[in-house]
Structure 1
Amino acid sequence: MKKYLVTMAVFLAVVTAALAVVPVTGPTLVCEGSWPVLLQSPSGYPSYRWNTGATTDNILITAPGTYTVVIRRADGSRDSGSITVREHPKPRPRIGNPIEYLCEGEVAWLRAPLGYRSYTWNTGASGPEIQISTPGYYRVYVTDSVGCRAWSDSIRVVVVQKARSRIEGMSSICTGSTTIHEVVDAPPGSTFEWTALGGTILRGRTSRDVRTQWQGSGRLDVRIRTQRPDGGTCDTTIGIVIRAGTRLQPEITTSSTMICSGEAATLSVRSGYATYRWNTGASSASITVTTAGKYWCDVMDSSACTGTSDTITIIQAASPRVGVTGPRSICAGDRALLVGTTSTNNIVAWRWNTGETTAAITVTQTGTYTVIGSTVNGCTDTARFVLLSTAVATIETVGTVSYDTIPVGVRRLKAFTIKNITSDTIRVLGTRLVSGTTELIRTVPDLPADVEPDSVLSFVVSWLPTKAGHMVESFALDIQTRRCLISPIVELNGYATDDSVPPDTNDPDPPDTTDPDPPDTTDPDPPDTTDPGCDTTDPGNPCDTVAPGRVDTVDVRLVLPDTVVAAGDHLSYNIGLSASLRDTVDLDITMSWDASVWHVDSAANGVIVHSEVEGWQRTMRLRWRDVDLSTPRTLQLHGRTMLRSTIRTELSVDAMEVTGHNVYRTHIDEGSITLTSCWIAGRVLRFQPVGTYVVYNQLGEELRRYPAHTLREINDILVDLPSGSYFIVHMTTTSSTSAGVVVTR
């Protein structure tokens, strides 16, 4: 019986092995543009052979199809497995014409095709349609039923301004008179259509000016049509009421019937009359008055019909005189009382720029304070008061002293000037370090030193960097005044270098550049809804050139793409750079990312000024000089990705400084790096008894170095390594080869 059971077990094992199918894992449906993808078979078998020719347990594929792998077991038996991968087309939604025109004050709907699972507009709105009323660029990001995503085409919405016009001409006429009215401030290319109620249009029904005969009172209207580039129009209708009688009754309009001392008011009668005669003697349609009194105007039209306007009374009120009293300076921690004053005693309301509404306020901060005093008539006066710190000594160079680099152990010098603007003698006691590790050496001449009123003290401060790295340090100047001790702060900002230290061991030897991985640009960030600026490839929208000797505002855009790369591969990362004007600039960029994902070796045509790792974050300062922005540029960083499972790291720009002859506004589109597999197992490093073998960890730090002649095989290197992931680089005088390894103890 036992023999029978053993025989059956052996039989079942053989049958099971013969029927085994190798499982192949990976996506069976891939969105268009989302290649490459990873296919994985079970690991641990002696050999693999895919129908693509690959001999590893996993492969990266870039096209749809059926992929088969044959594995060989340790006993020599073979099994196979396959997977069929299909490509799903990405959505291609359209939302309208490239340019849509909209009249001012109107709204329009943008609609995407129905049937998608989700919709996200670049305005932040969701759903298949949005209502718009402002100019800009619009597009929608859709997701279909299987999860494939894509942006629609962009639509530019242009808002056409309606006419802001008025009608010039008489509003008071004699019955039977003929008038001429004209539209002013109409946009170029506008058309007109006049209608008259109570009168007959004699000429100009579709002209800018119209001639009308009136049988009595009525109304004159005109429709103004502003042409749009798409052939449509934006319409506006304005009108004027006509009053007819036996005499003219012109109406006086005024900016105000009450004026304050020193102010003026403008009085106007409608144009179109033959003559004007004001009681001031003026003979124009409008007059400006600066004194109180009664004003009227006699008019006559072209048919000798006359009339007199109503009388308008202008009142003039006295303006106040406002001032502020208080101490001229304040010590740190003290309080100062500021009091609004007036010589006319007619102030009924106060308003300070602090928001307070009392005559007196108590302040603890230095700065400029303003107060507005108002009378019952609304006349105002403003007083300004500057409260100084009792840091009455003013320093010629204040705030931050910036410099590029300075060697450790080399003194740096900076000249300062202190001017005493008080009526008392002050004493400059000395300098002291407030933060940082810099060593302040001395001042020349030696301090302390007294500074007489209205006198100047010049001295030099020297300091000595004692540690390599980014320096953000500060020192204080202690000054004793009659009332208190003040300590103005000066910051030192730069980089200290130590040339005596061996080269940075974070930098491995140049990587293999035979298989660069181009960035994935299939999923850009949502666009800016403002005008995208110049396009150096479009002759219809060229970049302007900075005029010599003139300072312009230049928009500089930095674009970091989203990139997919296999772990362990070399990566040449392309950063896009463009500007709104042609220019030549210097760039300083500080970036950060997960140091366990990517190690940068070099910057093409640039330099790595500083690089450091804190925790898992690498921060790197890069510099490019004399960058020509006449066309879009590419800033390229070269480096090696680390041995990691699938992971994504954001590339952040912490600081970007653009230096040139103009004023620069920076715009940054940040990107990412995604590793798609642990490492490429097919990259085998074969032992060669020449050159040198170097071991790096995941951060790119050199751990060990072995001359090849001291080794018998690669295992001589691995035997000393603890569990973990490493790079092994073999270097000769003519080439270098690298491979990733995972050590498990």
Structure 2
Amino acid sequence: MQVSPQITNPPGRILGTTYTKISGLYTATGGEKYITIGNFVDDLNTVAHQRNPTSPPASSFCYYLIDDVSVIPVTAANYSLNIGPDTVYCDNQPINQTLTAPNGFAAYEWSTGATTASIQVTQPGTYWVNADFGCGFLSDTIRIDTKPSFIEGFELGNDTVICAQGPFRLPLRTKRGFTTYTWNTGDTTQNIFATAPGTYWITATYDCGSISDTIVIEQFQPGRLFSFTDTVLCEGESVNLNPASGFARYHWTSGETSQSITASQAGKYKVTATTAAGCSVSDSVTISFKAPVMSFSLGKDTVLCENQTMKIEVPAQPGFAYLWNDGVKMASRTINKPGIYKLTASDRCNSFSDEMEVKYRDCNTIFVPNIVTPNHDNHNDFFEIATPTNRKLNLKIYNRWGVLVYEKQDYRNNWPKENISSGTYYYLLSDPELNKTYKGWLEVTQ
């Protein structure tokens, strides 16, 4: 150390006392307990200087002073240098930070070239300082970084279609590292499960801002691909089978992969349609061909008795419409007046008609023979009753002793069929339509 003491007026001395100015260089080696500072020559060789030139010297003698000093070795352990922790700024925030080294150092050297105890930084980077404590240097470093306003983002994924029917659990995941998570479902966890179709969104926040994302989840609802049911075609017709559009792929059981095909033969046609998301639905339709209509007959032209009715029965076929020439729209009907009756049966493919004439006459006259000769000469072989109209008659025949020998409902002029005894017989003939009864006798001869 360098010692250059300036002698001052000691306590108890009078101003104007003469002192000697001494100076010198002393290098400490450590461990010294005191130092003596003074004049170490005799009075004759001492040059005295008057401190106050305006005052006469009071004495020709000189004095010396004794003082103590403690010399301590200086090392780096006696100092501490810390300019602060590493700092991260959001990139949308300005950097304006003061870096300060502690006082007490002899000199400072910064990485920027500055030599002051403090510097101001406005850019990211690595900053260091060297501080001189007299016997060496201490150093410290700080890193100032920026990070994007949004940390590495996340996506909930593309909008999704759930193919499975019924309940489902679809995980919706985000990333770690955010401060808060807020879902539109009310959840505040990092991940949730979607259990119903709908729109889901999340906002995740952190120091520099927030990130949001949305996903729409739909559940595939399979329906019919064909807008029509099983179809019946006429002979020679064809139909274009065109299922619902909007699917990515189509596959028919016949091997075709086009959306629509043409059906010209009877059979069951099935197609499977698949969406871009991989959801599939199948539908089928049966094509059949209408057989030609079966013909029908109204019967022969007919003669009815006055006030008599006749019911015409025509078996109705499914899919056919029936129309009479007088406007009646049914297959079967009851006739109660004369005329020409024509019926037309038709469907989309076929049409068929038939007609008959109905006449009326007085049916009160009836011819009943009174002799039968069953000798197979084709003349009076049977008991033949003649009526103006062909109608139902009921016949009973008795022998002369009153015994019933023959009975027939709706008699067809065919008695007797076998040989019978000659003789007199009695008949009882009833006409249900006219509500009349006829009776009499007849002779049977061989």
TM-score tier by shorter-chain length is: 0.3 to 0.5
Q: TM-score, normalised by structure 1?
A: 0.22
Q: TM-score, normalised by structure 2?
A: 0.33
Whichever structure has more strand as a proportion of its residues is: 1
